[in-house]
Amino acid sequence: MSQNDSIVREKQQHILVCLSSSPSNKRIIDEAANLANAFHAEFTALYVSNVRQNSLNEVDRERLQNNIRYAEDKGAEITTVIGENISFQIAEFARISGVTKIVIGRSNTKKFYFWEKQTLTEQLIMTAPNVDIYIIPDSKMDIKENRKIRLTEYIIPTKKDIFITVTLLLVTTVLGLCFSRSGFTEANIITVYIFGVLLNAVLTKSHFCSLISSLCSVLLFNYIFTEPRYTFHAYEPGYYVTFIIMLLAALLTGSLAYRLKDSARESARAAYRTKVLFDTNQLLQKSRTYDDVLQVMANQVILLLDKDIVIYPVKNGRIDNGYIYAKEVYGNSEIYMDDSEDEVVQWVLKNKKRAGATTEKFSEAKHLYLAVRNNDIVYGILGILVEHESLSSFEYSVLLSILGECALAFVNLDNEKAKEEASMIARKEKLRANLLRTISHDLRTPLTSISGNACNLCNHYEMLDNETRKQIFSDIYDDSEWLIQLVENLLSVTRIENGEMKLNQSIEIMDDVIDEALKHIDRNKVEHDIEVCRPEELIIANIDAKLIMQVVINIVNNAIKYTQAGSIIKIAYGNKNDMVYVNISDNGPGMDDTIKEHVFDMFYTGQNKIADSKRSMGLGLALCKSVVEAHGGSIEVKDNIPFGCIFTFYLKKGEVIINE
């Protein structure tokens, strides 16, 4: 196997770093970023949102958000998943995303209790055996900080949780006394206390409160409701078993309640995230312009954050005028377009990183600015009026997902635009090729005829009689007129296709236009009967007279060419509603329905079987359609009963202004 083959077959590296609120997480992100740069690998930062996030204090939550943003600044693509089993979520994401290396931190501290599960790193090694795992140990300071975090999470309750716990214990005790005086058994009182523990788990956030509620419930039941009362002794030996069972049942119900509450919360957040992204995707699929995508992005971000935003589109690498999107229709928008923040916007465009409020770069700004980009192409700058109020990690992750969807929508619009341009270029190339091929083929006959007749006149002029010379001159004239008409049609078609033709419209009398057009009809018109049906009223149209004359000439010449000698060609015109119509009919052989569908297509000549010295290029009727539509009108063809065809085109009626 050659060296090139080995390079091609080498697996693309994908580095995954795990995010957390640990103080050492920034060092882990640095190590992962260096590893990604060394391998020129794709870099992803994954955060697993679970129940512990909801119990983090403000300091830890802020540290987590800073770590997420720090990973983004290092070039990582931020991804958030939701799940209770962190190791399983990391391993499953690595499997689906093709991750080859995982960088994660590990604390060197031992387990607090013997019943605790394996550490996260140990579980990850078991669940992802086919992935290289790089473990970065915590420093001693980080270990102490992590221990403090765990104590904060599980031991130190808030004043609100303590108040709820005490209140529930008092209420359940009062209910137990009421049940006791009413003659209920002790089993009913135990049920009341267990119910109180369950409520405590639902209403409080600290696991410590649930533990205290369970223990105090057992002690209160022992102190108040067992003999001897108001002591912690019990006459019946079986009560101790009852106390133990009651304590275990209370702890179990409290733990299950916490898990159900947290799972419901995470499920609701996951459902909300899915709905927002699904709605965003559905709306973006309907977007057909850049402004549509910007509007969808603005609406979805306001729906998510409930904050005023400003969007700066980027066109050709430069920032365009910003658009303000307020959460309230009649909100004050003067502060949003502060010129002092232009420097921040320019910096975000240049560095393709976030900046502004709640960041280290331009932290004095009122807005948090993020680039809407795909790879190295920036499509816009989004500014969110946060005023130093940090976004939560959940909001930030959903926001990044929305921006990613919008960036892909911009990419799709660019691809569609590129396809349209390529298709237009292909059509022009096809037109050019058809023109060259057809011209080279069709001009050969008249040019050969002109050249041959001219040669005969030069070499044998004295030998030819007057009648023969007259016929030769007539043939040369007919061929040259055909060539002139062909060149006129070619130039007109080319200008219309390129959008270069400008209409010189003016108020014209249709009688004059028709009469002038008939002067330039094919010389073979003497073999046909051309009739003009003039209306009694004066017909006026707002047209480019020269181009409309060419339309009439082309249609009449087409009728002369494709009908038998002696046929009748009628031209009629008049007013119809707010339009002027022109009918050109003949009593020739007519045309099939299949030919009618393509008669106005360029280079289409149908299946005409009438002998002709020159082959038609199929430009005349195509030019007629282009000219009429350029005037805002329409053209059609239908059968002339019993024989022949009727070509009808419509033009806008003109108005004569009389100045008194």
pLDDT tens per residue, range 331-363: 444 445 566 678 888 888 888 888 888 887 887
- List, for residues 1-25, the tens digit of each pLDDT value: 444 444 433 457 899 998 888 888 8
Could you report the per-residue pLDDT of 559-571, keeping only the tens digit for each?
A: 888 888 888 999 9
| Strand 318-319 versus strand 323-325 pairing type | unpaired
The full DSSP string for 75-91 is TPEEEEEE-S-HHHHHH
Name the token pair of 329. 């229709």
3-state secondary structure of 138: coil
Average pLDDT over residues 50-61: 62
Confidence (pLDDT) at 8:
37
Whole-number pLDDT of residue 204: 76
Chain mean position to CA 604: 40
pLDDT number for residue 614:
43
Beta strand pairing call for 579-586 and 645-652: antiparallel
- Whether residue 237 is preceded by a cis peptide bond, meaning omega within 30 degrees of 0, is no
* Percent of the chain predicted with pLDDT > 90: 7
The whole-angstrom separation of Cα 89 and Cα 84 is: 8
At 122 the pLDDT is 78
* Confidence band of 615 (pLDDT split at 50, 70, 90): very low
Lowest mean pLDDT among 52-61, 274-283, 296-305: 52-61
431 pLDDT higher than 80: no
Higher-confidence residue of 409 and 492: namely: 409
* Alpha carbons 229 and 440: distance in angstroms, whole number: 118
330 vs 354 pLDDT, higher one: 354
Query: pTM (2 decimals)?
Result: 0.49
Q: Give residue for tokens 């006394």.
A: 177
Residue 162's pLDDT band (boundaries 50, 70, 90)?
confident
> What pLDDT score does 304 carry?
79
Is it the case that residue 433 has pLDDT exceeding 80?
no
Question: What is the C-alpha to C-alpha distance for residues 334 and 641, in angstroms, rounded to an integer?
Answer: 71
Q: How many Cβ atoms are within 10 Å of 441's Cβ, its own excluded?
A: 11
Query: Residue 574 — pLDDT band, cuts 50, 70, 90?
Result: very high
Q: Is the pLDDT of residue 441 over 70?
A: no
Q: Is it the case that residue 300 has pLDDT exceeding 80?
A: yes
For the cut 50, the answer to whether the pLDDT of residue 114 exceeds it is no
pLDDT digits (tens, 9 = 90+) for 203-261: 777 767 777 777 787 788 778 887 777 777 766 666 667 667 766 766 677 677 667 76
Residue that the structure tokens 């009062």 belong to = 174
